[in-house]
Amino acid sequence: MAVSAKQVKALRELTGLGMMDCKAALEEAGGDLDAAVDGLRRKSALKAAKKSGRTAAQGLLGLQVAADGKRAALVEVNIETDFAARNPKFIEFVDRVAATALATGRSAAELAAAFDAERDALVQEIGENIQVRRAEYLASEDGTVGSYLHNDRRKGALVELSAGDGELGRDLAMHVTAHDPTPLVVRAEQLDEATVAKEREIVTARTAAEVAEQEAEKGKSVPPQVVQKRVEGRLRKFFAEVSLLEQAFVKDPQLKVGELLRTKGTQARRFARLEVGEGIAVAEEDFAAEVAAQVGRSAAPAGGAA
């Protein structure tokens, strides 16, 4: 059945999909607009399911802050390419997810379920896998929540303070976002046993290698207590490096964060930091090898090698 340009335009306005997709859907539905919409939704879900296995390591963070400064939400939504991450509709989607996170305090899994249908439609329109990956929500009854989102929307953080103004909260959230190394905890005693054990293993192995080299050069052994002292010293250094209160404040390296907070009469209670793609394994592709393989297959004689 032939469909009119007016029908195609109406379906495009409803779905946001391409002209040819809309035309084909209308022809398949016999010109019925509602049936065409349903058919496109079914196909959208199918295409989204096929794309869901593809790695989405690019994307954006979304930040929403309550007017009273006592609540904030930070979400990570991934997509396959940086180019697609700049799509206005993807940006709007990220912001809607963040707004819902602030309003509800939902987890990433709950947000993903709530936005599943909208995500599927956007996957169909943009043509890339999209995933609501992580969400952080902080609320303070008697304090304040500072927030910071980097200009490229790839790094951001939230920090709960027992008291303080918006500028201090933003400065601390910026510090958590930008400091190298990234803080893992507010204070050293909050480090979990697995992290401590792993770092002790690394430090012990490195120290043992250095001691072995030293003994070979000087021809005499290093006492075990000296070795242990080096290990413990390096562990203390690590604890200080990843503890927020012990780090040099990014805006004034002569001042530790803990000292800054004491001068302001406040305490850092907790923080959350997100960076787009953090921890996602991305397979490296050898484009030159892929092209060479294609050329080789094209050049191969019919029926195989002679």
Name the amino acid, one letter, at 81: T
| Count of C-beta atoms within a 10 Å radius of residue 273 | 20
8 Å CB contact between 26 and 3: yes
Query: Domain 5-50: which topology?
Result: Helicase, Ruva Protein; domain 3 (1.10.8)
Tens digit of each residue's pLDDT (9 = 90 or more) over 275-302: 999 999 876 655 455 556 555 655 555 4
Buried b (16+ CB within 10 A) or exposed e, 154-184: bbbbbbbbeebeeebbbbbbbbbbebeebbb
Tens digit of each residue's pLDDT (9 = 90 or more) over 37-56: 777 666 654 454 455 557 88
Q: What is the pLDDT of residue 31?
A: 84
State the greatest distance between any 2 C-alpha atoms of the chain, in Å, as a whole number. 93
8 Å CB contact between 79 and 130: yes
Secondary structure (3-state) at 237: helix
> Is the per-residue pLDDT at 227 higher than 70?
yes
β-strand 268-275 against 130-139: which pairing, if any?
Answer: unpaired
Question: How confident is residue 97, by pLDDT bands cut at 50, 70 and 90?
Answer: very high
CATH number for domain 58-190+243-275, candidates 3.40.50.1220, 3.30.70.270, 1.10.150.120, 3.30.479.20: 3.30.479.20
Least Cα distance to 74 among 269, 270, 274, 277 occurs for 274
Q: What is the pLDDT of residue 164?
A: 85
β-strand 252-256 against 248-249: which pairing, if any?
Answer: antiparallel
Q: What is the pLDDT of residue 12?
A: 80
Domain ranges of the chain: 5-50, 58-190+243-275, 193-236
> Is the per-residue pLDDT at 231 higher than 50?
yes
> Is the per-residue pLDDT at 157 higher than 50?
yes
Look up residue 137 and give its two tokens.
């929500």
Q: What is the pLDDT of residue 289?
A: 58
Structure letter (DSSP) for residue 303? T
Average pLDDT value for the chain: 88
- Whether pTM > 0.85 for this model: the answer is no
How far is residue 216's CA from residue 175's CA, in Å, rounded to a whole number? Answer: 44
Structure letter (DSSP) for residue 17? -
